[in-house]
Amino acid sequence: MECKDELAHRYREAWLVARRVSSGINLRYSAFWPEINPNRWEVYQGENKILRLPEPSEDEVDRMVKCMRWLRWVSEEERKLIWLRASGLPWRVIADDLGVNRKTAYGHWCKAINRISIHILQKNSG
């Protein structure tokens, strides 16, 4: 069902939706909910501005929660890697953050995405 590019797109969408979800919403899946900290550019650009993003639709939140549920099939390090990539950071920055080579980071990300894809396929076929 889900190929690598589709899953990458789904997690990018989930990351964007997570930025718009108000903190008062209880999604009941907090164990898989990654911590969202603004990066320095978001903080810098947001100074002296009041930015109101539109609330996400119910479908967007449902897709985001589904993506968060899929994270239970990978390790904590892989969750962090998937979330960093979904945030739009380039591989070089992600690799520096994790303390590995850029190609190594990409390889670990592919492995994690493939593991999720396999679980989705098994769940849908069985």
For the stretch 81-122, pLDDT in tens is 999 999 999 999 999 999 999 999 999 999 999 999 999 999
- What mean pLDDT do residues 24-37 have? 56
Residue 29 above 60 pLDDT?
Answer: no
Q: How many CB atoms lie within 10 A of CB 65?
A: 18
Place of tokens 């589709």: 6
Burial of 122 (0-12, 13-18, 19+ CB in 10 A): exposed
Q: Report which of residues 19 and 36 the model is more confident about.
A: 19
Q: Report which of residues 42 and 7 the model is more confident about.
A: 7
Place of tokens 């889900």: 2
Closest by CA to 90, choosing from 77, 108, 102, 104, is 102
Which among 33-37, 78-82, 119-123 has the top mean pLDDT?
Answer: 78-82
pTM: 0.74
Say how far apart CA 49 and CA 45 lie, in whole Å. Answer: 8
- What mean pLDDT do residues 17-32 have? 65
Residue 49 above 90 pLDDT?
Answer: no
Closest by CA to 4, choosing from 125, 126, 107, is 107
Query: What is the reported pLDDT for 53?
Result: 73
Confidence of residue 12 (pLDDT cuts 50, 70, 90): very high
Residue 51 above 80 pLDDT?
Answer: no
